[in-house]
């Protein structure tokens, strides 16, 4: 339904990790010819062979469908990318810098440089990575100075809001689209590549480059703040004997507040929220407006204190010391339905227990391999039964349904002591206490 008679734009996606692989596959599903490019030969080989290099429900089927359509290819060749694409999406990582709380922009700069020095016809470069405000303006200048086309090569920003675990659905049916553009031409190009989504009446916000960068970090800051708010209330509960579960429920029924992201527990982690709020605070300080978001430092601290408090509760359950105590650590991923262990609270707790001399058995349904790569010192086992075998304390750290649905008696028959720490308020306390378990959860009085 392209109203002008031009052929549909050809799309390249630079960086094929969680975001880029999903984006490339979904663009092909929507009917565009797509080339996915990464510097990691292993990833490109796997994707070309129809294998998704990470765990994402639904993506393997969509990858297969996209490859079968003949519209999707993968390559490590930037010359090919430059000549193929009309619209180039940059989806490379922006991790926390090794030596500060700022974002590390080396991959973003490298990707735009690789494209800008090679492209020799009018094209649109679109950043999708999460970046500090002002990055798009800086890259615009950089691109114009190194491109053989000069100012003809245009830049836009299109922040991404997908959630790992729901990446395909969030990409094909997003809550909203945000286009950061500096010309009508750029807006029209983006409207064409997102036409199938806009046809679904998906809300669109067209803004300047800085606003589009800010939307993403502001959204993540709000979500992180909501989680840390209820976890701060959990700290108050712990000091007073109040119950944060009842508190959260009561608050959530006020529809001005709402229940989503108001779940008390071990807190947030992953490759986005922690590094994004730190980078945002860092950038605001550089801009001389650090005070406006200094609360993000508190949000981060509250979040990190939950991990320490979780270790405290496990130590209490164990009778005061962790030395030689066998702990079953259930979960390593930062959330269920993901194999992502970047800044994962679960893995951090397992590591802290280990450092205090506990004998920790970690089991995650999908993340054991990534966790092992991040913390090779911990002991990883292949099943929940192995993890809880002769455990002195069971710690539920990531709320996979396998753990939520476990039977307290079946588990109880395997452990040395019926003691459980529910780090995610994922269990019904009565189900456990009625079977002779000691049950502890963050922000709640001790049960049984
Ligand atoms: P990732 O680490 O899974 O993927 C990044 C990929 O970029 C890797 O495959 C890496 O090899 C590749 N890469 C690095 N340098 C490159 C270069 N010069 N050229 C080509 N490829 C290169 O990271 P991710 O989780 O996909 O995140 C990417 C960006 O998207 C980040 O800015 C992140 O904040 C943002 N984001 C992520 C999510 C998410 O849920 N993962 C959601 C929204 C936004």
Query: Which tokens hold the place of 378?
Result: 């911990």
- The reply to whether ligand 1 has any atom less than 6 angstroms from the CB of 123 is no
Check if the beta carbon of residue 136 is closer than 8 Å to that of residue 158.
Answer: no
CA angle 191–196–202, rounded 5-degree value: 75
Give the Cα-Cα-Cα angle 62, 90, 153 (nearest 5 degrees). Answer: 130
Length reported for the chain: 448
Query: Which element (helix H / strand E) includes 236?
Result: helix 209-240
* Whole-angstrom distance, CA of residue 384 vs CA of residue 259: 30
Type and span of the H or E element at 136:
helix 135-146
Cα angle: 261, vertex 264, 269; to 5 degrees = 65
206 has which bridge partners? 179
Q: What is the second-level CATH architecture of the domain 11-207?
A: 3-Layer(aba) Sandwich (3.40)
Distance between Cα 90 and ligand 1 center (Å): 9
pTM reported for the whole predicted model: 0.96
d(CA 72, CA 25): 7
Cβ neighbours, 10 Å, residue 146:
14
Burial (CB count within 10 angstroms: exposed 0-12, middle 13-18, buried 19+), residue 142? middle
- Mutation to probe ligand 1, out of 12, 14, 16, 17 (largest number of atoms < 8 A from CB): 17
Helix (H, G, I), strand (E, B) or coil at 364: coil
Cβ neighbors of 161 (< 8 A, separation 6 or more) are 170, 174, 175, 176, 216, 219
40 pocket-lining for ligand 1 (C-beta < 6 Å): yes
Helical (H) or strand (E) element with 441:
strand 438-441
Q: From the centroid of its chain, how far is CA 384?
A: 25
CATH 3.40.50.720 residue ranges of the chain are 11-207, 222-441
Q: What pLDDT is attached to residue 3?
A: 52
* 274 burial level (CB within 10 Å; 0-12, 13-18, 19+): buried
The ipTM assigned to this model is: 0.99
**Two tokens, residue 209:** 């480059």
Q: How far is CA 50 from CA 84, 209, 433, in A?
A: 21, 35, 47
Q: Measured between alpha carbons, how far is 120 from 376 in angstroms, rounded to an integer? A: 47
The pLDDT value given to residue 1: 45
| Domain spanning 222-441: CATH 2.60.40.10 | no
Residue 15 beta carbon below 6 angstroms from any ligand 1 atom: yes
Does the beta carbon of 74 sit less than 6 angstroms from any atom of ligand 1? no
Residue 176 burial (C-beta neighbours within 10 Å; 0-12, 13-18, 19+) = exposed
Centroid of ligand 1 to alpha carbon of 107 (angstroms): 9
Q: 167 alpha carbon to ligand 1 midpoint, in Å?
A: 14
Counts of helices then strands in the chain (DSSP H, E): 19, 14
Establish whether residue 14 lines the binding site of ligand 1, counting it when its CB lies within 6 angstroms of any ligand atom: yes
What pLDDT, on a 0 to 100 scale, did the predictor assign at position 5?
Answer: 67
β-strand pairing of 393-396 with 379-380: unpaired
The answer to whether residues 112 and 91 touch, using CB atoms and an 8 Å cutoff, is: no
CA–CA separation, 284 and 437 (whole Å)? 48
Backbone angles phi and psi of 330, in degrees to 5: -95, 105
For residue 210 the two structure tokens come to 């800085």
**CB-based contact 388:417 (threshold 8 Å):** no
- H/E stretch holding 349 reads helix 345-355
Active-site residue flag, 237: no
Q: What are phi and psi of 338, to 5 degrees?
A: -145, 155
The closest alpha carbon to 284, from 217, 207, 212, belongs to 217
Residue pair 212/129 in contact (Cβ under 8 Å)? The answer is no
Q: Which of 105, 55, 94 is nearest to 274 (CA)?
A: 94
Pocket test for ligand 1, best of 12, 13, 19 (most atoms within 8 A of CB): 19
Instruction: List per-residue pLDDT tens for the chain, 448 residues long.
Output: 445 567 899 999 999 999 999 999 999 999 999 999 999 999 999 999 999 999 999 999 999 999 999 999 999 999 999 999 999 999 999 999 999 999 999 999 999 999 999 999 999 999 999 999 999 999 999 999 999 987 789 999 999 999 999 999 999 999 999 999 999 999 999 999 999 999 999 999 999 999 999 999 999 999 999 999 999 999 999 999 999 999 999 999 999 999 999 999 999 999 999 999 999 999 999 999 999 999 999 999 999 999 999 999 999 999 999 999 999 999 999 999 999 999 999 999 999 999 999 999 999 999 999 999 999 999 999 999 999 999 999 999 999 999 999 999 999 999 999 999 999 999 999 999 999 999 999 999 987 5
Smallest CA-to-CA distance from 434 within 415, 420, 414 is with: 420
Q: Both tokens of residue 316?
A: 């209490």
Give the number of the atom of ligand 1 that is nearest the alpha carbon of residue 92: 7
């Amino acid at each position: 339904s392209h109203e002008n008679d031009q052929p549909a734009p050809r799309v390249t996606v630079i960086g094929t990790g969680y975001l880029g692989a999903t984006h490339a596959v979904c663009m092909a599903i929507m009917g565009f010819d797509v080339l996915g490019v990464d510097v990691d030969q292993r990833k490109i080989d796997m994707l070309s062979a129809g294998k998704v290099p990470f765990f994402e429900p639904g993506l393997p089927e969509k990858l297969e469908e996209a490859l079968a359509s003949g519209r999707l290819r993968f390559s490590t060749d930037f010359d090919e990318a430059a000549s193929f694409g009309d619209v180039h999406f940059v989806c490379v990582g922006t991790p926390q810098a090794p030596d500060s709380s700022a974002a590390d922009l080396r991959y973003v700069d490298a990707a735009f440089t690789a494209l800008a020095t090679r492209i020799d016809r009018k094209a649109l470069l679109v950043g999708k990575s999460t970046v500090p405000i002002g990055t798009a303006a800086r890259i615009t200048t950089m691109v114009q100075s190194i491109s053989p086309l000069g100012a003809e090569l245009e830049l836009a920003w299109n922040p991404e809001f997908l959630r790992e675990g729901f990446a395909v659905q969030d990409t094909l049916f997003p809550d909203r689209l945000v286009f950061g553009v500096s010309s009508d031409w750029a807006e029209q190009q983006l409207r064409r590549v997102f036409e199938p989504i806009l046809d679904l009446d998906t809300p669109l916000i067209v803004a300047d480059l800085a606003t589009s960068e800010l939307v993403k970090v502001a959204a993540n800051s709000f979500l992180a703040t909501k989680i840390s708010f209820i976890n701060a209330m959990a700290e108050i509960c712990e000091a007073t004997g109040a119950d944060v579960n009842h508190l959260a429920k009561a608050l959530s029924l006020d529809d001005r507040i709402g229940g989503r992201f108001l779940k008390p527990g071990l807190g947030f982690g992953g490759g986005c929220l922690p590094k994004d709020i730190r980078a945002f605070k860092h950038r605001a300080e550089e801009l001389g407006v650090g005070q406006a978001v200094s609360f993000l430092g508190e949000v981060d601290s509250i979040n990190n204190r939950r991990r320490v408090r979780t270790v405290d509760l496990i130590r209490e359950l164990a009778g005061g010391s962790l030395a030689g105590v066998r702990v079953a650590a259930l979960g390593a991923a930062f959330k269920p339905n993901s194999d992502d262990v970047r800044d994962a609270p679960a893995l951090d707790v397992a590591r802290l227990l280990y450092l205090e001399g506990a004998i920790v058995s970690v089991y995650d349904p999908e993340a054991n391999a990534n966790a092992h790569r991040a913390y090779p010192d911990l002991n990883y086992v292949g099943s929940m039964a192995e993890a809880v075998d002769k455990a002195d304390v069971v710690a539920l750290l990531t709320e996979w349904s396998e753990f939520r649905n476990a039977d307290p008696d079946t588990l109880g028959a395997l452990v040395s002591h019926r003691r459980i720490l529910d780090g995610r308020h994922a269990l019904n306390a009565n189900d456990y206490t009625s079977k002779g378990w000691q049950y502890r959860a963050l922000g709640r009085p001790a049960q049984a």
